[in-house]
Amino acid sequence: MLDGNAALGTGGRDPERNWGTVPEVARRSRVAVDIGGTFTDFCVFDEASGELRTLKILSTPEAPGTEVMQGIAELDRRYGQPAAGIGFFTHGTTVGVNTVIQRRGAALALFTTREFEDVLEVARLKTPDPYDIFSRRPPPLAPRERVYGIVERVLRDGSIETPVDPADVRQAVAEAKAAGADTIVVALLHAYANPANERAVRDAILEAAPDMAVTLSSDVWPVIREYERTVTATVAGYVQRRVAAYIGSLQAALRDAGVPAEPMITKSNGGIMAAELGKTDPIAMLLSGTASGAIGAADAAARIGAADVLSFDVGGTSADVAVIQGGEPAFGTGELVGDFPIYVPTVSVTSIGAGGGSIARVDDFGVLKVGPESAGSAPGPACYGKGGERPTVTDAFVAMGLLGADELGYGAVRLDRAAAERAVGGIAGRLSMGLSEAAESIVEVAVSGMYLEVAKLMSRRGADPRTFSLLAFGGAGPMLGVLFARELGMARVIVPPTPGVLSAYGGLIADIRNDFIRTAFVDLDAEGLAVLEGHACELEAQALSWLRDEQGFHGEARLTWSADMRYLGQSYEIETLVDRADIRAGRAAGLAGAFHREHERVYDHADTEAPVQAVNLRLTVSGAVPKPALAEAAAALGPAAPRGHATVFLDGASREAALHVRADLLPGQHFAGPAIVSQDDCTTVVPPGFAAEVDLRGNLILTREG
């Protein structure tokens, strides 16, 4: 917002001029990579010609990072794009989130204030599932036997009542090392108000154990509320070693491949940052892959003027869903990473354990189940012909005749229909069904699981999915998209031109972005407003230093201000956009009015006479990167001519479906379902009752007939 969320600039200078060390003559292309469980996606933007190129190759989970090098070589072979011409490289990775999910992180010890050792065990006294009497909270990443209380105390106003005794810390370090810890997280009471004691503990740790990795809660996210700050810090400490090793390997591999650009990393908040910073700030990039997809979807929605959109990103392992309104994805805090919430700002994405590679099985009670186990890329679905024998969702589509092409993923996979039918046949036998009926049952179970989770998401947001459009992307999103939309009662599905690589495209267009916070805990009176102004000046200086000095960005900086506010006596606050000018001028009425309006929007009521408190002041700084223009094409009105027809099984019956190739479809052309649209990066299934039209930007718009 320009009214108070200011833009500070440098007169239109090239926002990339100081990025990396690439000579200007070699700055030919920008490359973004998104690594999924089955495929790794590449999106390349040629800055000179404005051309956008895409590529998919199989992921190599057994050798992470290898797929990136293979892809760079394939870009040169296929498109004549040499590694030396890559002037910008950004990368979305799941190494952090997978470390938490698979419990393969550091051996953590936690140092807390003495008598507060149970902070992770107590948490918020909530069970994961209130309807399950056997539900238990997951064991903390720092087990109770490796939690050590330190004698110290910082008061809520930041004053130090009890300083740190280095001898006490040395004793705790000795015990932690004896217990096998290789990383120590320090989260002391009120460290958000004054980090001095945490830093003193860190210094004492490193003096006693120089090789010990140390994470401070005040460095990760210095915010009030002890559990939220502590659990976020433990997740950061848990993944830091593996993330740093991964980034180091990526940097070395890119140098060996001849890529001159220093890599960037996509962030959980939908922005990007220098990969080097990810080594010490891993929490910022924990959800980088899923956030990139939402950013790409938001851009696609904004380009066609779609106001309310549900992004539907389905890969081989999971389906990631995000709410996009007004061209912007929803943001939030407290997103779950595995079993644990993190309280840094992130793009709000709901992940569902069902994708194209999800394995179908019949349990001991004769019930058909799909996922969350996935075939991944090795061996992959049976139809990939790489040794997989267990049936997946993709195999079910093949058995139904709904994958019209013989190849997937830019030729990386040649479909083996006989293998898919053998795999699905095992399910058919267990359920005493025909092959086609069993295949469709697998798809229906997968879709119903997605429906359940998305219906809960929309209910929490008070949104009616029938008023939204579904934007389907990912390797399996267009395949499942219309079937899923029908269950939610949605009337329109959008399939972008290159849906299989939209997450990589999201990384390509993501702006440099970072979030900063200060806990204020003040009333909106003269004294409190003076405190807010002091914090605002500190945050602004810190944010601009991060953007200019650490990121090397010297274009226009955009500053967006918000505050976590509440009525006096409320337990939790609402993040509210505020005007920097109101803080600078000490206008309490302006700040309070913004909160009243937001409270009215969220809860449908506001008490304009009640006193208001500001708990946290937030600042988001961003710098825009160059983006592809993606111009509109001339319309060629009329029906689209199919390449042929095929017999498919859909909605309980065999039908004749038209076979279209996406490259043949011109803006303005239209056709009706049932139909199959094949392209290099995915397949779109159009069931009966839906019509398709190509818009002027090449998007496939599918609408319910009647």
DSSP letter for each residue of 437-498? HHHHHHHHHHHHHHHHHHHHHHHHTT--GGGSEEEEESSSHHHHHHHHHHHHT--EEEE-SS
Question: What value, to the nearest 5°, has the Cα angle with vertex 232 and ends 227 and 234?
Answer: 95
List Cβ<8 Å contacts ≥24 apart for 432-437: 435/399, 436/399, 436/400, 436/649, 436/654, 437/649, 437/652
Give residue for tokens 């030396």.
Answer: 84
Which pLDDT does position 21 carry in this prediction?
A: 35
Structure tokens given for 550: 């650490």
CATH number of the structural domain 27-99+244-261: 3.30.420.40
| Topology at the third CATH level for domain 512-623 | Dna Ligase; domain 1 (3.30.1490)
Residues in the chain: 706
Which pLDDT does position 411 carry in this prediction?
A: 59
- CATH 3.30.2320 for domain 105-236, yes or no, is no
> How far, in Å, CA of 4 to CA of 324, rounded?
24
* Residues 704 and 685: beta-carbon distance below 8 Å: no
Q: Helices (H) and strands (E) in the chain — how many of each? A: 17, 39
Burial 621-639 (b: 16+ CB within 10 A, else e): bbbbbeebeeeeeeeeeee
> How far, in Å, CA of 557 to CA of 622, rounded?
6
Residue by residue, DSSP assigns 226-294 as HHHHHHHHHHHHHHHHHHHHHHHHHHHHHHHHT--SPPEEE-TTS-EEEHHHHTT-GGGGTTHHHHHHH
Which pLDDT does position 412 carry in this prediction?
A: 60
In the chain, domain spans? 27-99+244-261, 105-236, 358-445, 512-623, 638-704
Give the number of other CB atoms < 10 A from CB of residue 316: 26
Structure tokens given for 522: 């003040």
What secondary structure letter does DSSP report for 392?
B
Q: Which residues of the chain have pLDDT under 50?
A: 1-27
Q: pLDDT digit string (tens) for 519-547? A: 999 999 999 999 999 999 999 999 999 99
Which pLDDT does position 4 carry in this prediction?
A: 39
> How far, in Å, CA of 209 to CA of 203, rounded?
10
Do the domains spanning 27-99+244-261 and 512-623 agree at the CATH topology level? no
Which pLDDT does position 413 carry in this prediction?
A: 67
Which pLDDT does position 628 carry in this prediction?
A: 79
> How far, in Å, CA of 599 to CA of 13, rounded?
40
Is the alpha carbon torsion for 673, 678, 679, 682 positive or negative? positive
Which pLDDT does position 654 carry in this prediction?
A: 95
Helix (H) or strand (E) holding 352: strand 350-352
Which pLDDT does position 631 carry in this prediction?
A: 66
- End-to-end CA, the chain: 40
Which pLDDT does position 20 carry in this prediction?
A: 36
| Bridge partners (DSSP) listed for residue 472 | 312
Which pLDDT does position 610 carry in this prediction?
A: 96
Identify which of 167, 172, 105 has the alpha carbon closest to the alpha carbon of residue 145: 172
Identify which of 478, 536, 520 has the alpha carbon closest to the alpha carbon of residue 700: 478
Listed in order, strand segments (DSSP E) in 478-596 are: 492-495, 512-523, 557-567, 574-577
